[in-house]
């Protein structure tokens, strides 16, 4: 499990779940250095779920795996089964988008979809759009 | 061409660089993944993690080139270590310091350069993490923040190497 948190109660709290170490590390450090957000990041879906049970995030960024098992995690959030507000903006990063997946993500009220490989700058842009 | 000037704390700087025990060591994944990431993030063909020794520039990690070292006086990074801010040369062909530099008029034909100085926690600037393109470019404020973040990751790894060596 990898989890780094730069927690500052005055800043918006963001959860970043993704398998890519560099994406997670660079975005978390960038948000911390520019004092724009506190980012909790993990590559483990169970950890992401646990974090949502104990923290009220203002933005959640999810890197979708091949099996799309993250959809259940999004359902939990949207059904109010976590401490995070069920209307929280959710950004999904995925390496491929089918019509079926697009429909499912839309029905889960996903705010933005980014294609992988994703640049940190693109994540930063959607972060600014959704937080400000 | 204007040769890279020598910093006022050169002896202390070189001492700090050599204490890292990293000069002339083989490539390492922990640095290579940062240079490769930067190349993708900024869409540049060349990225260097360059350290400035007394008379040469030596690269611990490179992306997109076999370039490993050059004399210090022609190095861009020799200039970058003297700047508090990230040194951005949008078009080297238009810059009096670099327009006739051998690295501009010959391989690797540098036109764009952005170098973030690598400053150790003790204050010495030992090198530069730099992006290079063969065409003129600009960086916006967010780009500079991301480059600065990557620079910080490099410094963390450099110091970790030194601290590990001291602990052994």
pLDDT at A132 over 70: no
B30 CB within 8 Å of a chain A CB: no
**Residue B144 contacts A where some CB pair is shorter than 8 Å:** no
Specify if B18 maps to a domain.
Answer: yes
Biggest CA–CA distance in chain A, Å, is: 40
Residues 16-35 of A with CB under 8 A from B: 21-22, 25-26, 29-30, 33-34
CA neighbor of B144 nearest in space, from B41, B49, B31: B41
CB-CB under 8 Å, B146 with A124: yes
Handedness of CA B28, B45, B159, A38 (dihedral sign): negative
pLDDT tens, position by position, B13-65: 999 999 999 999 999 999 999 999 999 999 999 999 999 999 999 999 999 99
Judged by DSSP in three states, A87 sits in: coil
pLDDT at B162 over 80: no
Contact A29 B152 (CB under 8 A): yes
**Can you tell me which residue has the tokens 């911390």?**
A32
Q: Is residue B142 part of a domain?
A: yes
Q: What percentage of chain A has pLDDT greater than the value 70?
A: 92
pLDDT of the residue at A1:
38
Query: Do the chains contact at B153 and A26, CB–CB below 8 Å?
Result: yes
Q: Does A122 touch chain B (CB under 8 A)?
A: no
A5 lies within 8 A of chain B by CB: no
Q: Which positions in chain B touch A132 (Cβ < 8 Å)?
A: none
Residue contacts between A and B (CB atoms, under 8 Å): 34
In this structure, what CATH number is given to the domain that contains residue B116? Answer: 3.30.450.40
Inside any domain, residue B66: yes
Q: Is residue A130 situated within a structural domain?
A: no
Structural domain harbouring B37:
10-167
CB-nearest partner of B146 from A21, A26, A117: A26
Q: Tell whether A76 is covered by a domain.
A: yes
Model confidence pLDDT, tens digit, residues A22-48: 999 999 999 998 888 999 999 999 999
* Mean predicted confidence (pLDDT) in B127-138: 98
Any domain includes B5: no
Nearest residue, CB atoms, B145 vs list A34, A117, A119: A34
Kindly provide the ipTM of the predicted complex, given to two decimals: 0.89
Q: Are β-strands A90-94 and A112-115 bridged in parallel, bridged antiparallel, or unpaired?
A: parallel
Question: B4 in a domain, yes or no?
Answer: no
| Residues B68-77: tens digit of each pLDDT | 888 999 999 9
CA distance A23 to chain B (A): 9
Q: List B52's β-bridge partners, or say none.
A: B57
Instruction: Find chain A residues with C-beta within 8 A of B153's C-beta.
Output: 25-26, 29
Q: For chain B, what is the domain count?
A: 1
pLDDT in tens, B133-161: 999 999 999 999 999 999 999 999 999 96
Residue A28 covered by a domain: yes
User: Is residue A132 in some structural domain?
Assistant: no
Task: Flag whether A12 is in a domain.
Answer: yes
38-67 of A, contacting B, C-beta below 8 A: none
Residues of B in contact with A21 (CB under 8 A): 33
How many domains are contained in chain A?
A: 1
B143 contact residues in A (CB cutoff 8 A): 121
Chain A contact probe: residue of B144, B149, B151, B156 with most A CBs at under 10 A: B149
Tell me what pLDDT residue A8 has.
59
Nearest to A3 by CA among A119, A71, A12, A21: A21
| Beta strand B87-89 pairing with B69-71 | unpaired
In a domain, A129, yes or no: no
Q: How close A86 gets to chain B, by Cα (Å)?
A: 30
**Tally: H helices and E strands in chain A:** 5, 6
């Amino acid at each position: 499990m990898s989890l780094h948190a730069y927690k500052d109660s005055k800043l918006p709290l963001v959860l970043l779940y993704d398998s890519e170490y560099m994406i997670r590390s660079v975005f978390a450090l960038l948000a911390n250095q520019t004092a724009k957000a506190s980012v909790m990041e993990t590559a483990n879906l169970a950890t992401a779920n646990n974090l949502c049970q104990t923290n009220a995030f203002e933005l959640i960024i999810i890197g979708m795996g091949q099996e799309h098992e993250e959809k259940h995690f999004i359902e939990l959030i949207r059904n109010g089964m976590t401490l995070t507000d069920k209307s929280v903006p959710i950004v999904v990063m995925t390496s491929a988008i089918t019509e079926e997946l697009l429909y499912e993500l839309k029905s889960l009220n996903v705010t933005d979809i980014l294609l992988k490989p994703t640049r940190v700058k693109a994540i930063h842009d959607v972060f600014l759009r959704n937080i400000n | 061409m204007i040769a890279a000037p020598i910093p006022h704390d050169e002896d202390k700087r070189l001492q700090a660089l050599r204490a890292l025990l990293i000069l002339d060591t083989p490539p390492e994944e922990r640095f290579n993944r940062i240079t490769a990431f930067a190349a993708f993030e900024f869409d540049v063909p060349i990225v260097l993690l360059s350290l400035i020794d007394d008379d040469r520039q030596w690269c611990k990690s490179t992306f997109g080139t076999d370039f490993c070292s050059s004399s210090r006086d022609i190095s861009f990074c020799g200039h970058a270590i003297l700047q508090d801010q990230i040194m951005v040369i949008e078009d080297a062909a238009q810059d009096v310091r670099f327009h006739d530099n051998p690295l501009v008029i010959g391989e690797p034909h540098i036109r764009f350069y952005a170098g973030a100085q690598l400053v150790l926690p003790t204050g010495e600037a030992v090198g530069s993490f730099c992006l290079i393109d063969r065409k003129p470019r600009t960086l916006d404020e967010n780009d500079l923040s991301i480059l600065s973040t990557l620079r910080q990751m490099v410094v963390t790894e450099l110091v970790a190497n030194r601290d590990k060596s001291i602990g052994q």
